[in-house]
Amino acid sequence: MQYLRRHLDSRLSQLLTVHPACLVEGVRGAGKTSTAERLAKATLRLDHPPTLAVVAHDEEAAFASLPRPVLIDEWQRLPSVWDTVRRMIDADRSPGQFILSGSSRSAVTADIHAGAGRILPARLRPMTLSERHGKAPTAALAALGKQGVDAVRGLRSPFTTTEQLAATVESGLPGYLGMDSADHQDALRAYLDLAVASDLVDLSSPLRNISKLRNYLRAYGATVGTTAEHATIHNAAGVSKATGETYHDLLGRLGLIEELPGWSHNRLKRLTRRPKRHLVDPALAAADHYDTAVSLLEQRERLGELFESVVVCQIRATVDASGLGWRFGHMRAAGGEHEINLVADLPDGGVVAFEAKLSEAPDSDDARHLAALRDRLGDVFRAGIVVNPGTTSFQIDDRIAVAPLGVLV
């Protein structure tokens, strides 16, 4: 299978010229091994029982003679590997020695903090639009913070409206690309079944009622792109508050849930702290509820929620893979009068905000919340972007523009 370049490739290569080791983490099937193997000169796959047995007998000896960098894949299957790598780095701080890859936040028994300054984490999320189609984004998100809306004005999306909306039902997990629609959704539901059953072993979880956890995940998927209360999800799943909180924690540690916290700023008051509900890939939620490209045409509210989740997840994926250091939240006034889907705090103190809209021709009314935030923040506000599935980027107000999703990710 042809390798499709990832946004993380360049950053990971650069990190290994500076740091002794990197940890590539992400959900099952995100493409961690394929991405890491392109940079590794030797690979030890710990999901291969004979290899695991050899490494377990004498970890340092197993690593010592191999050319650098060494990829230790599925490292969490032998958590002591973490301390072994850390000790070897303490003895030799040369850059580019190790790449560890493994499921997101699963090896909770390892003392991750002990690797601080030695093993640098890098998150690989499901593929964005440009990654799926083998194209570079038309605009660099980093430029928004420096140039404002001039970074996107006049740019055209390389993807059609249909292709951009398809991300609501088509997963960015590499192994599922190109499938027939029905087969694709069946495969995604099977993926979720496996994730909540098999991957819990890596968490050393005493949980045994897999069916209830699966029901909770399905109920959660109905709320993506909303600020639904936990009680709503618990009731829909038929679980108690305590059980629901346990399930929520487990799914977060598996990396399937990636919530967006409420954003705050010292110039604004009465903002809600309740998080927006998101899965790592909105297409998983769509598959679990049998939402298809055809059925969603009759469910515009659900389509809007899924598209918002696509916008949030893919912008976060692109920014994180690029190492920009943006911190994200969503903004909602306590009274509900202002709501913005994604707000980014930049390292230099600036703010960039994004509002997802299904309209192919958004106007100033669609940008009113962005304009209100601009007026409250003043010069701190760098750019507001109405993200849609359209064709061309254009400015609609001071520091506010419309940009197709395909231009940005």
Compute the chain's Rg from CA coordinates: 22
Round to whole Å and give the CA distance between 207 and 246: 9
Q: Please identify, among 85, 108, 123, the residue that sits at the C-terminal boundary of a domain.
A: 123
116: its two tokens: 């601080």
Question: At how many degrees (to 10) do helices 241-253 and 230-237 cross?
Answer: 100
Residues 152 and 35 in one domain: no
Q: What is the pLDDT of residues 33-51, one digit of tens each?
A: 999 999 999 999 999 999 9
Q: What is the pLDDT of residues 306-339, one digit of tens each?
A: 999 999 999 999 999 999 999 999 999 866 678 9
pTM score, two decimals?
A: 0.93
Does some domain include residue 188?
A: no
In a domain, 209, yes or no: no
pLDDT at 361 over 50: yes
Mark whether 163 and 111 lie in a shared domain. no
- 83 backbone dihedrals φ, ψ, rounded to 5°: -70, -35
Number of domains composing the chain: 2
Of 116-120, 215-219, 318-322, 368-372, which gets the smallest average pLDDT? 116-120
Tokens encoding 215: 């029901």
Residue 217 lies inside a defined structural domain of this protein:
no
- pLDDT tens track for 253-286: 889 999 999 998 887 877 888 999 999 999 999 9
The 8-class DSSP code of residue 127 comes to: P
Angle formed by the axes of helices 241-253 and 210-221, to 10°?
A: 80
Residue 31 three-state SS: coil
* Cα 276 to Cα 271: distance, rounded to the nearest angstrom: 13
Specify if 205 maps to a domain.
Answer: no
pLDDT at 269: 78
Full domain range(s) for residue 111? 8-123
Q: Are residues 137 and 13 in the same domain?
A: no
Q: What is the CATH number of the domain that holds 60?
A: 3.40.50.300
